[in-house]
Amino acid sequence: MTVLYDLFSWQGLIFEFLIFTFTVLVSRRYFSPLRDIPGPFLASFTRLWHVATIAGGKQSIKMLELHRKHGSFVRIAHNEVSVGHPDGIRKVLLAPNPKSPWYKLMAFPDWRFQSPLSTIEPKAKNERARWLASGFSTTNALRTEQNMDRQISRLKSWIDKYAESGKPMELDKFITYCTFDVLGEVMFSKAFGFLDNGTDIGNTIAWSGMLNMIVTCGGYYRWLLNIFLMNPLITSLTTTPMGYLGDLSQGALQERRDDPTDHPDVVNLWFENHRKHPDRVSFKDMQSANATVIGAGSDTISCATQSFIYHLLRHPEKLKKARAEVEYYRKTEGICYGRVISFADAQRLTYVNACIKEGIRVFTPVQWQLARQAAKGGVTIDGRTFPEGTLMSVNPHVMHRNYEIWGEDADEFRPERWLEEENASREKYFIPWSAGFASCPGQNIARMEMPKLIATLLRDYEFKQVNEGQEWSYEATFGLLPYNWPVYVRKTDLYAT
Ligand code: HEM
């Protein structure tokens, strides 16, 4: 009786808790199948090391550092190994390994709104995405071109103003306003209005960056976020955790539900499918997919656009070559005219497109651990087998800087590499969109928007950093947005009105 009493006393409970914690930590460290995988000591006991690194905003730099130190495998949590081996792409991402449970939190605004992103089993994910996919097809992306042009043209009006005033411009912000407004146009033919106002309305984009950080770290502690942020009560009390972006995009969807007029945009096709097969794609499916897209489809393009300009500013000879290419096509083929360069023209610019790809490779817009769970039978890479259920992640930034794949100059911005013959064999290691069943559905839209936007900026403007040579700042969570590199701007001789 005395022993029982002692066990349930508060001292007893503390003692039991300590014994339990000690046993868990020791078994994670010394009895896990990952016990011999190198990595930070703390990471072998707990997820906290990884979460603290994400919160520090430089997790992708840290991951690259660790892979360069330890090689192909790094243990980044008690139950997760980061894979830097080139075969990781085929064996982890392209194989039908379920996504990590981290993705389950990616239901916005709360758990009632499951999306393809939050669905982790390959078959179920494909099924959920199937009726939404046509909205992102190349054919449909092409229909949205005029919508894109409207906003790129507005961006130009702002840059013109700065060119005239000679004042420094926070180009990073305006590019992001533009990519958000383009996304609104592409999705539901309605811009968010950032370019109309020339400001981050209600600090929405800043909040979206913060939300990105909260959700990225919170994915490992789903219950916590489900209690405090992403639950039906909060959704009904406030508007949505996504604030203005969420309200406007969900409002646009609702408007379209009431007004079935044909529009050249993504939700138009979703509604077509919904009306034909309400059992296959519900209104709620569209709401959740819409929310995911708003989170995924603008910072990424802004990042790629900024990377192009930023890196070419550091390589004036390549900048000259890229602009000369536009000039050449204008003279010889009479293309690349008009206020905004058309996609058909922009895609013909071989060197410019090589620069875009290289900007994405050296500074990948999603520098996140894309994590999967080893499927039945486990996953074998480089002779090492990881048992079923092991979390295995691939970071595109780590892959894109791998010396074994890209050579000793992997860290350098060298667009010419994309034009070399041996590069064809490297294409399969270029994974900005991830790879396999969970890869980015918006890549057709991005592949169309980026060349247009970038070629137009290249043709029309000369940028110069206010503090020449100063490095930009950024925080990497799931995605990343550079900042703090203001520029002076002036129009080039090729400028088109
Ligand atoms: C440079 C531009 C872009 C890059 C680099 C990029 C990259 C990515 C990556 C790496 C993922 C994660 C895949 C994974 O978890 O394994 C993703 C997911 C996603 N992206 Fe993109 N993306 C871009 C643009 C876009 C655009 C323009 C849209 C929409 C119009 C979009 C919509 C999405 C959606 C909805 C998801 C969630 C995928 C799912 O259904 O599971 N993205 N993207």
SS3 breakdown of the chain: % helix, strand, coil, rounded to 5? 60, 10, 35
d(CA 292, CA 427): 27
Q: How many CA atoms lie within 13 A of 258 on its CB side?
A: 5
The mean pLDDT of 93-111, rounded to a whole number, is 94
Whether residue 128 contacts residue 115, with contact meaning beta carbons closer than 8 Å, is answered with yes
Q: Which residue has tokens 């389950």?
A: 104
Ligand 1 center from residue 441 Cα (angstroms): 6
pLDDT at 109: 84
Mutation to probe ligand 1, out of 123, 178, 299, 300 (largest number of atoms < 8 A from CB): 300
Structural domains of the chain in order of their starting residue, each with its CATH number: 122-491 (1.10.630.10)
pLDDT in tens, 340-371: 999 999 999 999 999 999 999 999 999 999 99
From the CA of 470, how far away is ligand 1's center (Å)?
Answer: 30
Q: What is the pLDDT of residues 369-427, one digit of tens each?
A: 999 999 999 999 999 999 999 999 999 999 999 999 999 999 999 999 999 988 888 99
With 70 as the cut, is the pLDDT of residue 1 above it?
A: no
pTM for the whole structure: 0.95
Contact partners, residue 227, CB within 8 Å, separation at least 6 = none
Residue 242 has pLDDT above 80, yes or no: no
Residue pair 242/290 in contact by the 8 Å Cβ criterion: no
* Residue with CA at minimum distance from ligand 1 atom 19: 440
Which residues have a Cβ under 8 Å from the Cβ of 434 and sit 6 or more positions away? 93, 366, 370, 396, 440
For residue 438, how far is its CA from the centre of ligand 1 (angstroms)?
Answer: 9
Cα four-point dihedral sign 38, 41, 44, 48: negative
Residue 358 burial by Cβ neighbours in a 10 Å radius (0-12, 13-18, 19+): buried
Residue 53 burial (10 A CB sphere; 0-12, 13-18, 19+): buried
Angle of helix 299-313 relative to helix 204-218, nearest 10 degrees, comes to: 110
Q: Which pairing describes strands 80-83 and 391-394: parallel, antiparallel, or unpaired?
A: parallel
| Ligand 1 atom with the shortest distance to the CA of 431 | 10
Question: What pLDDT score was predicted for residue 26?
Answer: 87
Question: Is 70 exceeded by the pLDDT of residue 240?
Answer: no
H or E segment to which residue 323 belongs: helix 316-333
For residues 154 and 497, which has the higher predicted lDDT (pLDDT)?
154
Task: Return the DSSP state at 158.
Answer: H
Mutating to test ligand 1, I would choose from 120, 395, 440, 453 the residue with most ligand atoms within 8 A of its C-beta, which is 440
Calculate how far, in angstroms, residue 481's C-alpha sits from the geometric centre of ligand 1: 15
Q: Whose CA is nearest to atom 20 of ligand 1?
A: 440
Pocket of ligand 1 (CB under 6 A): 116-117, 129, 292-293, 296-297, 300-301, 304, 365-366, 370, 432-434, 438-442, 445-446
> What pLDDT is recorded for position 235?
83
Whole-number Å distance between alpha carbons of 399 and 413: 15
What pLDDT score was predicted for residue 206? 87
Residue 244 C-alpha from the chain's centroid: 20
Is the pLDDT reported for residue 241 higher than 70?
A: no
- 460-477: pLDDT as tens digits: 999 999 999 999 999 998
